[in-house]
């Protein structure tokens, strides 16, 4: 777990603070969680956090988890994934596992093609219990 969390050099101050907060968290954080962690660094308003999150998500450095109204740092530390990303969220420990699956993506593409639907983005979130929490 002791990896470096190097931030891209061209982030603004607020973006860097927010990404750093996400990187150092064990699990997803809401925008208000992040704000609370960063009050000591001078952040005062939700919008400061939301604006930074918008940029980070846009660049693929962070992801929004729709079913939690929360955010995580991208788990792919350097080469941020393209295409469909799925998240497995453990209800027990709160950890999030990020993965990509080409087969699912292709399958979805087939459905969209057949329907004439133009996909812009896809949310895929699995809720349940991770191996550790299921107590196998």
Contact footprint for a copy of itself (CB under 8 A): 66-67, 86, 88, 90-91, 97, 99, 101, 103-104, 107-108, 111-112, 115-131, 134, 136
35 vs 22: CA distance, rounded Å? 11
Other beta carbons within 10 angstroms of residue 64's beta carbon come to: 17
Quick one: what does residue 51 bind among Zn ion, a copy of itself, DNA, none, with the CB cut-off 5 to 8 Å set by partner type?
Answer: DNA
Q: Which helix (H) or strand (E) holds 88?
A: strand 85-90
CA angle 124, 127, 131 (to 5 degrees): 120
Site string for Zn ion, 43-82 (x = CB under 5 A): -------------------------------x-x----x-
SS3 79: coil
Q: Which residues lie near Zn ion (CB under 5 A)?
A: 74, 76, 81, 90, 92-93, 130, 133
């Amino acid at each position: 777990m002791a990896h470096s969390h190097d931030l891209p050099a061209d982030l603004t101050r607020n973006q860097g603070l927010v990404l750093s907060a996400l990187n150092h968290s064990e699990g997803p954080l809401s925008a208000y969680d992040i704000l609370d962690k960063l009050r000591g660094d001078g952040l005062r308003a939700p919008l400061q956090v939301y604006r930074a999150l918008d940029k980070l998500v846009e660049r693929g450095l962070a992801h929004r988890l729709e079913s939690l109204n929360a955010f995580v740092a991208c788990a792919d530390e350097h080469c941020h994934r393209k295409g469909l990303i799925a998240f497995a969220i453990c209800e027990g420990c709160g950890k999030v596992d990020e993965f990509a699956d080409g087969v699912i993506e292709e399958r979805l593409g087939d459905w969209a093609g057949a329907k004439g639907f133009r996909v812009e983005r896809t949310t895929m979130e699995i809720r349940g219990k991770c191996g550790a929490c299921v107590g196998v």
